Structures are given as structure tokens and as C-alpha cells.
Amino acid sequence: MMREGVLGRALERGLVCVGVHDLRDFSTDRHRTVDDVSYGGGPGMVLKADPFFGALSAIRRQHGVPDAVVLLSPQGRRFCHEEATKLSRLSHVALLCGRYEGVDERVRERLATDEISIGDYVLSGGELPAAVVVDSVARLVPGVVGDQRSVAQDSFVRGLLDHPHFTRPAEVESESVPEVLVSGHHGEIRRWRKQEALKRTLERRPDLLEGAALDDEEREILRELRNDGTD
């Protein structure tokens, strides 16, 4: 997955580097066991601490001490763009993935510097969340995304959802492109996009508006949208 697209090109160009380590390679028995029953009983297996300590030692030996060791877990704080930005400024981040019912608490206590969840839904392990973190962080590394304007315009940077996008042909299934976009009036186009972005954000993600950095025009449009019908 990571070898495709923007991240794939970044890996090829050496702008970012991702290493994957199999915990089983750091197990200490001939069955390559990485899990065990839970102290205190209960269903489900728990990932043993030892393979994590072994893996981290190998990583430190090969690449030096990481600047952050992030445990992906449902108990972590919610991953967000700001978090991605912080991680993108570090040169070496280790991501620890859990499986089964959980990870031995000593991993959290002794190895992790951060604990992150990607959202309130249950996955079967931390590997997909780790890939999500890698993708979002890599995009923020200078040079990875060709046009830095795309990065700057991203919804969660601005605190607004995107406006609608259209490309050719002008008509699809009898649906035509909004007139304003083909009018050539750049001022009107800018205002329309702001209005659509604000409309969507107000409807779908009003929580984002709390932290949004709005300009004067956007604040005025928002006032209009909120008053719609009342004056």
C-alpha cells in the first residue's frame, strides 16, 4: 500500500524511510510466541512485553534512539493533524502495534513516549493505524507532496471542510458544473468556494468551526449562513 502514490514516490526518492519489524523475530522461544494469557484471567491473549523490548533494542542498534516511540492503541489520545505535524518534525519515530486483547502494560510504561488511537471504532490491530500515521506524517515532510499549496489548503490545517470540486466534462448525467466556476470571475469563485466550504462544515462538522482560522470574508459568510431565513 505504501509503495503506491505520493508515499511510494517519497520512499523511492528517499525523502522518508519506513522499516517494518516482525515481533515474532524477537520472541525468545522456538515457537516464536508473542502472546500469552492475561494475569488475573479473562478472555483473549495479551502481547508479551519481551518481543517489544527486543524489537526496540534492535531498532536502536540499527538506527539510533528514536525521537518518539508511539504505541498505537484504542486507549490512546485521538490522532489528529496537529499530532501528525509534530511527528513530521522528528527524524526518527518508532510505531508499536498491538494485537489481541492488548499489550503488556510494561511496554506502555517503559517504551512508549506517546499513545495514539485513530478513532472510535474497533480494528483488529495497530498495523492499519500505523500505516495511517505514516501516510499522514509523510505528506507533511518537505518535498513529499509536490505542491505545498495542497498541504496548506488541507481541511484540517484550515479547520474547514473542502469546497466541492468539478472537472471536465461540463455535464455529467445531466448535472452541470455550477455557473460561477466557469464564469471566470475569480473573486466570485473564491467567495463561492468559501461559502460552500463553510456550509458543509456548519452542517457536517460544526465542531471544526471552533478552532478554524477564518478571514473577514469567511466570518461574514458564516454570519449569513447562520442567520439564513431569520433576516
Active-site residues, by number, are 74, 101, 139, 154
Q: Which is nearer to ligand 9D3, 130 or 138 (CB)?
A: 130
- Rg of the chain (C-alpha set): 23
Q: How far is the CB of 100 from ligand 9D3 (least distance, A)?
A: 7
Q: Which is nearer to ligand 9D3, 64 or 119 (CB)?
A: 119
Binding residues for ligand 9D3 (CB under 6 A): 72-74, 98, 101-102, 117-119, 121-126, 129
Amino acid at 224: E
Dist CA 181 CA 167 (whole Å): 10
Write the DSSP assignment of 40-56 as a string of letters.
Answer: T--SSEEE-HHHHHHHH
Dist CA 62 CA 98 (whole Å): 22
Q: How far is the CB of 219 from ligand 9D3 (least distance, A)?
A: 35
Alpha-carbon distance values, 217 to 103, 185, 192, 231 (Å): 50, 17, 11, 19
Q: How far is the CB of 120 from ligand 9D3 (least distance, A)?
A: 7
Q: Which is nearer to ligand 9D3, 44 or 146 (CB)?
A: 44
